[in-house]
Amino acid sequence: MLDERDRKILEFLQGDAGISVTELADRVALSVSACSRRIQRLEESGHIARRIVVLDREKMGVPTTVYALIKTAHHADEWIEAFRKAIGDIPEIVEAHRLTGNHDYILKIVLPRVEHYDVIYKQLVRRVELFDVSASISMEELKSGASIPVGYAQ
């Protein structure tokens, strides 16, 4: 079970995984060794899956976001695995979700410019058969981040 200090540690690490243990310990009112042990326990328990660096998309040359909504006529395991491999091989596809409702999948694609979407679209349809693909261009990012709420953690 997590306590409030564990949740605070997780919250601070989500904001900056590079924070020093000394600073983190100070923020959550623990000794450095106690804080370090808690971090290690949170990693071992799987609460911390990994630590990553978030890159600036403008500086990386991929400021444009396109969401592709996909319908497929195929739902067999073999097709799903081929689809999973195809999207995994295209680095511009940064997220993919299987959906309920009118569409089967949604892809988040980051691009240098909107015209580059056609390149990604052609790469994808060469690898897997799709019934329908429609895309929407993000005009403005209102909220972004990988942080998730920590209050539900057990």
Q: How far apart are CA 22 and CA 27, in angstroms?
A: 9
pLDDT above 70 as % of the chain: 100
Q: Which amino acid is at 152?
A: Y
* pLDDT higher than 90, residue 80: yes
Q: Which amino acid is at 93?
A: I
Average pLDDT for 62-79: 96
Confidence band for 1, pLDDT divided at 50, 70 and 90: confident
Beta pairing, strands 105-111 & 132-137: unpaired
Contacts of 42 (CB under 8 A, 6+ apart): 6, 9, 10, 48
pLDDT tens per residue, range 22-62 = 999 999 999 999 999 999 999 999 999 999 888 999 999 99
**Global pTM exceeds 0.75:** yes
Q: Which residue has the higher pLDDT, 154 or 84?
A: 84
Per-residue confidence (pLDDT) for residue 146, from 0 to 100? 79
* pLDDT higher than 90, residue 83: yes
Residue pointed to by tokens 């990553």: 52
* pLDDT higher than 90, residue 74: yes
Q: How far apart are CA 57 and CA 49, in angstroms?
A: 23
Give which of 51, 36, 98 is closest to 72, Cα–Cα: 98
Q: Which amino acid is at 26?
A: D
Average pLDDT for 99-124: 97
* pLDDT higher than 90, residue 154: no
